Structure 1
Amino acid sequence: MKSYKGRGVVLHTLKYGDSSMVVYLLTDVGGRRSYMVQGVRSTRGHGSKLALFQPMFTLEFEGLESHRQEMHRFREVHSGQVLQSLPFDIRKSTVALFMAEVLYRLVRESEPNEALFDFVWSSVGALDSLQEGTANFHLWFLVNLSRLLGFFPGNGYAEGDWFDVREGLYTPLQPAHGLAMNPHDARILRDMVECDVRCLAEIGLNRRERVDFLGALLGYYGYHLDAIHAVRSVGILREVF
């Protein structure tokens, strides 16, 4: 077996047998990869490892690759970032669950993508350290993730613009095809593009505005990536925020 060192972010887990699980990671060394973790659910010896594999938790590991098996394994694995608030704050853990599911549904490539990985890794740290603005974080994450997925807004914003979902452009007039964000949502989109993540609280949105903009954003994603419609944690977000 060939060994290698890497970093990863937990996207999803599946129970396997009585005491094992399959862990899906976004990794720096090979994009999305799956790992078999044996004995993680055992009450003897390795039970504490289960806490490592929560949605959006970061890992540093030594992996084992076998040409005879599709799934990789861990020789060693431990926490990548010491998280101070995310595991204990229900609002942040809800956002993390959504982020992990979005990435699990949308990212399928098994090739390294340094820009995507760095954005996701740093987003975990940003969410954990955020003092205010948690309610807007999932919106900021989706907007800025679109840059890495290839359909980020392609031009500058002017006051009163619509946003053409099909073309990915701000436009002064409502597009005839009807696939567009209205001027209010287009302005929020601009704000999310320009906002430093540490200043998210300064984008003053009420609950209805968040729900409406999330719906518009999911429509934008859905036009480009149909898999977004399978994300189930959207309903939980709408309840919490």
Structure 2
Amino acid sequence: MKSYKGRGVVLHTLKYGDSSLVAYLLTDVGGRRSYMVQGVRSRSGRGSKLALFQPMFPVEFEGLESSKQQMHRFREVRAAFPLQGLPFDVRKSTMALFMAEVLYRLVRESEPNEPLFDFVWGCVGALDAMQEGVANFHLWFLAHLSRFLGFCPGNDYVPGAWFDIREGLYTPVQPAHTGVMSRECSAILRDLMACDVRLLSDIGLNRSQRVEFLNAMLVYFGYHLDAISAVQSVRILREVF
């Protein structure tokens, strides 16, 4: 077996047998990869790795690759850095669940994508440390994720513009078709794209605005990637935020 070292962010897990699971990670060394994790549920409760494999948890590992096995394995895996807020704040853990599911559904490539990985890795640390503006984080995440998936806005915003979802452009004239964001959502998209994640609390949105913008972004993503429709955690987000 060939060994290698890497970092990863947990996207999804599936129970396998009585004591094992399959973990899907976004990694720096190979894009999205699946790993067989054996003995993750120890009967004694000691030495369990289960706590490592929660949505969006960052890990460092030594992996094992075999030409005879489809899934990779871990020789060693550990938390990459201590999380201070994400596991204990229901708002942050809810967002982590949503972000992980979006990435699991949309990112399929098994090739290294350093810019995407660095963005996702940075999002984990930013969300964990955030004190104010948490309610806007998932919206900021979606807006900036569009950059790495290849369909971010292709021109500059002008006041009063609509955002044409089909063309990926801001336009001063409302398109005749229905694939368009409202003026308010278009302005929010501009604000989020321009905003430093540490200043998210400066974007004052109420609950109805967040829901409307989230719905608009799901339409936008859905126009380019059908898999977004399978994301189930959207319902929880709408209830919490």
Whether TM exceeds 0.5 here: the answer is yes
Task: Identify the residue that residue 146 of structure 1 maps to in structure 2.
Answer: 146
Is residue 2:196 matched to residue 1:196?
Answer: yes
> Which stretches of structure 1, 4 residues or longer, exceed 4 Å deviation after superposition?
none
SS at the partner of 2:39? coil
What code does the residue aligned with 2:220 have?
A: Y
Deviations 1:143-200 (A, max 9, x none): 0000000000010001100000001000001112221001000000000000000011
Map of 2:76 onto structure 1: 76
User: Aligned-pair distance for 1:45?
Assistant: 7.2
Q: CA deviation at 1:46?
A: 5.8
The letter for the 2-side match of 1:121 is W
Give me the identity figure in percent: 76
Aligned positions of 1:145-164 closer than 5 A: 145-164=145-164
In the alignment, is the contact (CA less than 8 A) between 1:13 and 1:22 conserved in 2? Answer: yes
Tell me, which stretches of 5 or more residues in structure 1 are unaligned? none
- The residue number in structure 2 matching 1:14 is 14
- SS of residue in 2 equivalent to 1:119: helix
Report the Cα distance in structure 1 between the residues aligned to 2:51 and 2:131, rounded to whole angstroms.
Answer: 24
Residue aligned with 2:63, SS: strand
Contact preservation (8 Å) 1:65, 1:73: yes
Structure 1 residue aligned with 2:179: 179
Deviation of 1:41 after TM superposition, in Å, equals 1.0
Q: Which aligned pairs between 1:37-52 and structure 2 lie closer than 5 A?
A: 37-44=37-44, 47-52=47-52
Q: Could you tell me whether the CA contact under 8 Å between 2:42 and 2:48 is conserved in 1?
A: no
Q: Residue type of the partner of 1:215?
A: N
SS of residue in 1 equivalent to 2:42: coil
Q: Distance in 2 between matches of 1:45 and 1:222?
A: 42
Q: Is the 8 A contact 1:40 1:46 kept in 2?
A: no
Give TM-score, length-normalised by structure 2: 0.99
Match for residue 55 of structure 2?
Answer: 55
CA distance in 2, matches of 1:45, 1:28: 31
Residue matched to 1:103: 103
Deviation at 1:110, TM superposition (A): 0.2
| 3-state SS, counterpart of residue 49 of structure 2 | helix
Q: CA deviation at 1:48?
A: 2.5
How far off its partner does 1:47 sit? 4.5
Deviation at 1:44, TM superposition (A): 3.8
Q: Secondary structure at the match of 2:12?
A: strand
CA contact (8 A) 1:39 1:46 kept: no
**Contact conserved, 2:94 with 2:237, CA < 8 A, in 1?**
yes
The alignment's TM-score, normalised by the length of structure 1, stands at: 0.99
User: Residue 207 of structure 1 aligns to which amino acid in structure 2?
Assistant: R
The whole-number CA distance in structure 2 between the counterparts of 1:42 and 1:132 is 38
Aligned mates of 2:195, 2:24 — CA distance in 1: 31
Measured after TM superposition, the shift of residue 201 of structure 1 is 0.8
Whether the 8 Å contact between 1:62 and 1:76 is mirrored in structure 2 is yes
Residues in 1 aligned to 2:231 and 2:201: alpha-carbon distance in whole angstroms: 26
- In the alignment, structure 2 segments of 5+ residues that lack a partner are none
Q: Compute the RMSD of aligned alpha carbons.
A: 0.9
